[in-house]
């Protein structure tokens, strides 16, 4: 009975989110935020999606969740990667004692993350993505947290299918490609700023975000302009690089 109530609550929340969002990116971000609100143990959350051999974070509540995801993509190990491969829920209540996934536990603890819960987004052919939850406190993602997360993941997969009808009849694959492309160009821009400024990924992301805020344009546009300008500069012989919008 309680499990049905959890599923009904998740379905109602996602239905309201689907009706209130105007783009696929906004829907994905909304799901990540909703996960933190409904899964009591989660301090932050993200959504990983895969197309062919590409795996990227297409939505996250904050930079911490993104960094946690990226460490797993780079090493090929971690709760998110395992959930995607196995198409099963993966839970780590105490990353400080975690012996799976090489040194991932140490990296997570170094970032202040104490626990992880990864739930696959299931489609007919298997897992197409993962709903990731990260804890930074004493939460261990108890049985109720896991039920809520699974209900959210199940209904999120349904909501993504429903998005086909909501967003101008464009296929889910096309939406996913757009989201993956957006994340890819942001990652490229971060790399460019890191190389130019000799700074960390977090500092580079902050540079792009500040430019986005100053110009009142989306981060994706700032990133695209920088990547394009860098390509032109290299083609013309290596002129100095400047972040779009900076003097």
Within the chain, all domains assigned CATH 1.10.10.10 are found at: 178-235
Q: Please list the pLDDT of the chain residue by residue as tens digits (247 residues).
A: 455 555 666 667 766 776 666 677 788 888 899 999 999 889 999 999 876 677 888 889 998 999 999 889 988 999 999 999 999 999 999 999 999 999 999 999 999 999 999 999 997 778 889 999 999 988 789 999 999 999 899 888 777 656 545 554 444 455 555 655 566 677 778 888 888 888 887 788 888 888 887 888 777 788 888 888 876 665 555 433 344 444 3
2-167 CATH choice from 1.10.600.10, 3.30.450.40, 3.40.50.2000, 3.40.1160.10: 3.30.450.40
The topology under which CATH files domain 178-235 is Arc Repressor Mutant, subunit A (1.10.10)
CA dist 182 and 31 (Å) reads 18
- Provide the 3-class DSSP secondary structure of residue 139: coil
């Amino acid at each position: 009975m309680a499990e049905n109530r959890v599923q009904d609550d998740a379905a109602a929340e996602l239905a309201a989110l689907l009706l209130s969002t105007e783009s696929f990116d906004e829907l994905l971000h909304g799901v990540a935020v909703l996960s933190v609100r409904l899964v009591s143990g989660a301090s932050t959350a993200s959504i990983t999606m895969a197309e062919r051999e590409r795996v990227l974070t297409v939505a996250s509540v904050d930079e911490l969740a993104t960094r946690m995801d990226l460490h797993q993509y780079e090493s090929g190990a971690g709760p998110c990667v395992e959930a995607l491969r196995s198409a099963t829920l993966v839970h780590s209540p105490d990353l400080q004692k975690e012996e799976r996934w090489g040194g991932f536990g140490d990296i997570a603890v170094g970032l202040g993350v104490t626990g992880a819960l990864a739930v696959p987004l299931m489609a007919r052919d298997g897992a197409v993505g993962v709903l990731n939850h990260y804890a930074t406190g004493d939460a261990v993602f108890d049985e109720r947290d896991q039920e809520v997360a699974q209900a959210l993941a199940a209904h999120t997969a349904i909501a993504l299918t429903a998005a086909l009808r909501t967003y101008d009849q464009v296929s889910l694959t096309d939406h996913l490609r757009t989201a993956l492309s957006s994340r890819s160009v942001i990652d490229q821009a971060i790399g460019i700023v890191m190389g130019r400024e000799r700074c960390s990924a977090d500092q580079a992301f902050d540079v792009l975000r500040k430019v986005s805020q100053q110009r009142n344009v989306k981060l994706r546009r700032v990133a695209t302009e920088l990547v394009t300008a860098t390509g032109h500069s290299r083609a013309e012989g290596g002129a100095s690089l400047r972040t779009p919008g900076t003097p």
